[in-house]
Structure 1
C-alpha cells in the first residue's frame, strides 16, 4: 500500500509493553511445559500447554497483510470470470430493493448507475476511492444476493463475484494515497471498506480505514449541526447518517484493539437519527442507534476504568464510575427496547430483526461484564461479572440454536460484529471461575463446551472465526484437564475437598502458568481471591489495580491472536473447517 498511514504495520496496539509481556510469558510457559515434574503425567495437558506456548509467541507479530481474503485457514478459491455488462446491469436493476440499498441513504439509482459506469464503461480509469466505493458496494450486493436470490444459478454466480470484488477492492485499497481529499464519497468508501475488512476478520486494516474516514467527516464538519443549516432535511439526514456510521466504526475498536477513537463525544452536536426518519427502515435504525450508543459507552468504559490514569483512582472512585456506567448501559438498552416496541416488524427481514435484538443483548451483557470486572476487591473468589458473563455466553449459544436458518450473510455479520467485536470478558471470567473453583465447575464447564461447540459451527464464516474457535477450544480443554487433574490429585491424597481452592498456585504443570495466563487475558485469582463480593459493588477493600491493567491488556493481546497465523497440534483434533 502506498500510504503508511493506512497500513496496519503502524498499529500502536503492538507497543513495547505487549512485547515485554510476551517475552516474560514465553519464559513462564516454557518452564511450565518443559520443567514441571507433573507435566508428563498427562499427554493431553502437555499438548494443550504447548499450544498455549505457541500462541503467546505470536503476540509480538504485527499483522502485515492488507489482504481482505483470509490468508490462511480457509483455502482461497479460484477467481471467477469478470462480470459481463449484462450481469452488471442485472445487479443494478436488483439493487433498489436490496437490504444494501435500504441501508445506503446516499444512494439513488441514477447515482449508482453513474458510479458503475465510471468504473466499468468509461475509457479513463476511475480513481482509487471510486473503485473502493463501487467494488465495496458490489461486494455487499453480491454477498446478499448470493444468499437470498431465488435463481440458484445467479446466486452461485453472485458468490463467485463477491470473491472477485474482494480481490479488486483489495487492490484498490492498496492504491490509496497518503493524502485523500475529504469528500462524502471518500468517507463512505473508506467506511464501507472498513466494514468489509471486519467481515473478513481484518480488524487492524479496518481500524486504519475507519480512522481515515473519521478524520474526513470531521474535516467535512458532519459532526456539527451548524454546518448543515442551509441543507434540505433529507440532505441533512444523509450527512448525519454518514457521520454516525463512521462514528460506529471509529469507536468499535476501543475494546477489541484498545484503540482510542478519532471522534470525541464532546465535539459532537448532531443528533441521533430519529426512529421516524425515512433515511433507513425503522427496525434497522433502532439497532443502528443502539450500536452507536453502545460503542461510545465502551470507549468510556476503557477510558474511565481500564486506562493507566483511571487505575490511579481510589477503589471508591472506581466503583462510583462503574456504577454510573452500568446505569448508562441499562438506560441504553431500555431505550432500544422502547424504540423497538414502537416500530412494525420487518415483513421481509423479520428474522434478521430478531437476531439483531439477541446480538444487542449479547453486547449488553458482555459490556456489563467488562464494567463489573473492574470493581475488584480482595475478599471474594467470586467475580461480580460472573452473572453477566454466563448470560452473554448462553445468549450466544441460544441465538445459534434459534436462528441458524437465517442466511449466511446475516450470520457472517453476527460473527464479526458481535462474536468478534464484543468484549471477550465473559469467556475469560468464566474460565477463571472454573480454575478458582475446580470442584464445583460442572455447570460452567458445560456452558463453555456449548459455547465452543457453537463457535465450531460458525467457524466456516471466516479465518477469524476459525481462530476464535481454536483459541476458546484450547482454553476449554485446559480448563477440563485442570479440573480433572485437581480431582485426581485430591483422590490420590485420600480425600476430595468440595470447596474453593484459592491456594491453587504451586500445583504441577497448570499452576506454574499463572503469569502466562494473565498476559493473554485469562488471569488466575490473585492472592486472597479475585474480584468483588456477591453485591456487584460491595466491599471496598484495597486491591492492586495493576493486576486489572495486566488483565485488560491481556484481553487485547488475546484478541490480537485472531490476526496471527496460529498452528495447533494435530492431536487436539481441529481437522477440516467444513
Structure 2
C-alpha cells in the first residue's frame, strides 16, 4: 500500500504541476506529459473555435462557456466512450515493458483518436439537434408549413389499410388507422390545428411515406414518395424546434410527445427523446391514463384508445430508462390500467409481451444497477439477478392461448417470414437484456475473467441469434428496407450489451471464435452504409467498428509476442478499485491511465517507457487530467475503495458493488457518445 500511495502522490504532483505551468518539452529520461485539451467544452462563436492547452487561455474558455456548458455537454460522452473502448487494452499494455506491443497498438488507437477529433468539431446547437428544421418567415407560423399533396397522402392511407405490413409497423399508439384520419383532417383543413396535431400528422406521414415507398420497385415512384417523406420530416423538426416550454394537458399532447420521442430515438438522439417521453409520462399520469378508476368513466372506444396510448408511452419510457441508466418516471405499483388485449380488429403492432419485458427492464435498473441497489450486499444483488433471469426466461418460452391466437393472426397478416423475423428480433433483445442481468453475478472463484459463465454464454447466444435473424432477412425480397429497420431498432436503439461483453472477454482471453462473431456483427452494420439508417447512426457503426478493430489488433499483437508477460483484466480488476503492489486494477487505470490520444498519435516514441507497475506510463500520467476535464465524468462513479475493513463501516458498499456500478456507468457513457442530441 505504501508503494501505491507513493506512486499516487507522484501522479498528483505531476497533475498539479501541469495545472500551474506551461508544457516543457522532455529533455530527460522521463516521458513528456502533454496537458489535454478541455474535452467536451463547447464555445460560442465569440470565443476561439479551437481547443488550446495553455492554462490561461483554458480559463478564458471556461468563463466564456459557463452559460452554455450546463445545457450542452456532448463532448464528454465521446471521451467516455474512447476511455471505455481502450480500457482493457490499456490495462494489459501498461502491465508490460514491451515497446513493440505499445508501438503496434498506436495505429489502432489513432482510429479512436480520429473519431474523437471529428466529434470535437461538432457543436451541440439547436441546428444540430434539428438539422432539417426550416426557419419560419416573419408573420407566418407552423400552420403554414407545406404539406404533401392530399391525393398522395390519401393513396398512402389506402395502402396502409390494404397492406398488412404497413399496418403492423405504423404508429403503435393507434387502435386503428382510421383514428389517424381525425388528425389528418385538422391539419389539411383550413381550420385551426395545434402543435400536437402537426407533430402527430407529420410524424405519422413521415413513417407512412417511408413504408409505402418500400413497396414500389420503380425508382422514380419510390423517390417521389421519399421526397414527400422528407418534407414531413422537415416539418416535424420545424415544429419540435419551436415548441413552447409548457404544453397543454391533453391526450393529443401525450400522443404527440410519444411520436416525438420515437422520432428522436430513430434519429439517434436518446437524450432528446428522454425529454419528450418524460413529458408524455407526466401528462399521461396527470390525465389518469394509468388509473383504472379514472378510465372507468370513458366510453369503451375512448377507454381503449387511452389504454393503448398509455402502454405505448410506458414501453418507450422503460426502454429509455435502461438505455440511459435513469430511474423511471412510472411507479409500477401505481399503475392499475388494464393491459392491452388481443383484438382481431386492431391493425397496428403492440405485443402484450413487450409490456412484461418493459417491466423487467425497469426492475433490472432498480434492483441491480441503481445506486441504492449497488449499496446492497452482493448476495442480495445475486438473488435479485437470479429472480430477473427466471422472469426473462419464462417470458421467452411461455405462450398462453391468448398469445397463440395473436401470433397466428399476425402470421396470417404479414406472412411466415416476417413473423419469424419479429420473433427472432424479440429474442435478440431478450438475450441482450439477459446478458446485462448476468453481468451482476460475479464469476466463480478463482476466475481469470470478469464475467460469469452464463453471461458469456448468453452474449454468444445473442450474437448467434442475430446472425440467424440477418440470414432470414437477407432471403426476403424486401431485405434492405427491413434489414435497415432491424439494425435501427433491435441493435442500435436498445443497447447491445453482448457486443461489449464479448469485446472485454476477447481482450481477456483472445478467443478467436468470439472475435469472428464481432466481425460478422460489424459487417452487417456496414452493409447498409448507403441507407438512411447508416447516415443517422454513423457514430454507432464507426464506434462498433473501432471496438472490433481494437480487439482484433490486440489479439494479433499479443499472438506475435508470446514471450511477453501480459496482465489481462480479471474479476478483481474489472471496474473495481482493488490494487496491490504487483498489479493495478483496471478501474484504477480508468481513473489514471486513460489515454491522451493526442499524445499517443503524435508522439509514438513516448510509448517506449511503459513500466511494469503502470503508473509511469505516459497514458497513466495524462489520463487523470483527461478525466477531470470531462464534464459529468469525475474520477469514478464511486470513490476509490479504502481497505476492506473500513469499506463496510464507512461506505456500506462492497467492492463488487462498486465495480458493477462503474461498469454499468461506463457502458452508458459509451452509449451516450452515440447520442447526436446530447444535452447534458
TM-score grouping bracket, smaller chain normalisation: 0.7 to 0.9
1:288-307 to 2 correspondence within 5 Å? 288-307=351-370
Query: Which residue of the other structure, out of 332, 339, 342, is the alignment partner of 2:395?
Result: 332
Q: Of 545, 548, 555, which residue of structure 2 is paired with 1:483?
A: 555
Alignment of 1:541-556 (within 5 A): 543-556=655-668
State the TM-score, normalizing by the size of structure 1: 0.77
Change in CA separation of 1:154 and 1:182 when aligned onto 2, cut-off 3 Å: farther
1:22 CA displacement: 8.4
Structure 2 equivalent of residue 313 of structure 1: 376
Structure-1 separation of matches of 2:485 and 2:86: 38
Alignment correspondent of 1:90: 155
Alpha-carbon distance in structure 1 between the residues aligned to 2:513 and 2:175: 50
2:442 to 360, 365, 376: 376
Mark the CA change 1:40 to 1:249 in structure 2 (over 3 Å): closer, same or farther.
same
Where does residue 361 of structure 1 map in the other structure? 427
The answer for the alignment partner of 1:278 in structure 2 is 345
Question: Is the aligned partner of 1:189 residue 2:256?
Answer: yes
Q: Which residue of 1 aligns with 2:268?
A: 201
> Who is 1:576 aligned against?
none
The Cα offsets for residues 429-463 of structure 1, whole Å up to 9 and x where unpaired, read as 1111111113xx11111111111111111443233
1:225 correspondence with 2:295: no
Larger Rg: 2
User: Is residue 491 of structure 2 the alignment partner of residue 413 of structure 1?
Assistant: no
**Higher RCO (CA 8 Å, separation ≥ 6 residues):** 2
Q: For 1:22 and 1:413, locate their aligned partners in 2 and report how far apart those are by CA, in whole Å.
A: 25
After superposing the two structures, state which structure 1 stretch, 407-416 or 56-65, moved more.
56-65
Alignment-derived partner of residue 5 in structure 1: none
Rounded to whole Å, the distance in 2 between the matches of 1:425 and 1:414 is: 16
Cα 1:545–1:45 change in 2 (3 A) is same
Contact 2:175 2:347 in 1 (8 A): no
Q: Distance in 2 between matches of 1:375 and 1:65?
A: 42
8 Å CA contact 1:434, 1:444 repeated in 2: yes
The 3 A distance-change label for structure 1 pair 306 and 211 is same
- Residue pair 2:480, 2:528 contacting (<8 A) in 1 also: no
Q: Find the counterpart in structure 2 of residue 120 from structure 1.
A: 188
Secondary structure class of the residue paired with 1:252: helix
* Aligned partner (choices 315, 336, 347) of residue 412 of structure 2: 347
Aligned to 1:213: 280
Moved more, 484-493 or 382-391: 484-493
Q: Structure 1 residues 223, 26: CA separation in 2 closer, same or farther (over 3 Å shift)?
A: closer
Counterpart for residue 52 of structure 1? 112
Q: 1:492 to 1:235 in 2, by over 3 A?
A: closer
TM-score if structure 2 supplies the norm length? 0.66
Partner of 1:539: none
The whole-number CA distance in structure 1 between the counterparts of 2:304 and 2:467 is 37
Query: 1:366 offset after TM fit, Å?
Result: 0.8
The 2-side partners of 1:152 and 1:26 are apart by 41
- Cα distance, 1:422 vs structure 2: 2.9
For structure 1, the residue ranges without an aligned partner over 5 or more in a row are 1-7, 72-80, 524-541, 567-578
Query: Among 656, 664, 669, which residue is 1:557 paired with?
Result: 669
Deviation at 1:83, TM superposition (A): 2.6
| Alignment partner, residue 4 of structure 1 | none
Deviation of 1:295 after TM superposition, in Å, equals 2.3
Moved more, 448-457 or 98-107: 98-107
Given the alignment, which residue of 209, 230, 233 partners 1:166?
Answer: 233
Alignment CA distance shift 1:220-1:151 (3 Å) = farther
Aligned-pair CA distance for 1:215: 1.3
List per-residue Cα deviations over 1:260-295 (Å, max 9, x = no partner): 2222211100122122463346xx44xx22222222
Q: 1:20 to 1:359 in 2, by over 3 A?
A: closer
2:548 and 2:84 map into 1 onto residues whose CA distance is: 20
- Preserved contact between residue 217 and residue 243 of structure 1 (Cα < 8 Å): yes
The change in CA–CA distance for 1:240 and 1:137 in structure 2 (over 3 A counts) is same
Tell me how far 1:349 sits from its aligned partner.
1.8
Q: Aligned pair in 2 of structure 1 residues 398, 44: CA closer, same or farther (>3 Å)?
A: farther
Partners of 1:290 and 1:332 within 8 A in 2: yes
Query: For the aligned residues, what is the CA RMSD?
Result: 4.4
Question: SS of 1:423's equivalent?
Answer: coil
Cα displacement string for residues 372-419 of structure 1 (whole angstroms, at most 9, x for unaligned residues): 111125531242210011111222222112113345553343223211
Q: Is 2:505 the counterpart of 1:393?
A: no
Distance 2:341 2:442 in 1: 39
Partner of 2:32: none
Aligned to 2:138: none
Which of the numbers 327, 336, 339 marks the counterpart of 1:260? 327
- Contact kept in structure 2, 1:13 and 1:259, CA below 8 Å: no
Separation of aligned partners in 2, 1:356 and 1:39: 50
Cα gap change, 1:279 to 1:63, in 2 (>3 Å)? farther
* Aligned residue pairs, count: 518
Contact 1:376 1:543 in 2 (8 A): no
Q: Does the aligned pair in 2 maintain the 1:197–1:206 contact within 8 Å?
A: yes
User: Structure 1 161/24 Cα, relative in aligned 2: closer, same or farther at 3 Å?
Assistant: closer
| Separation in structure 2 between the aligned mates of residue 408 and residue 465 of structure 1, nearest angstrom | 16
> How many Å separate the matches in 2 of 1:10 and 1:245?
31
Give the superposition deviation at 1:256. 1.7
Query: Secondary structure of 1:302's partner?
Result: helix
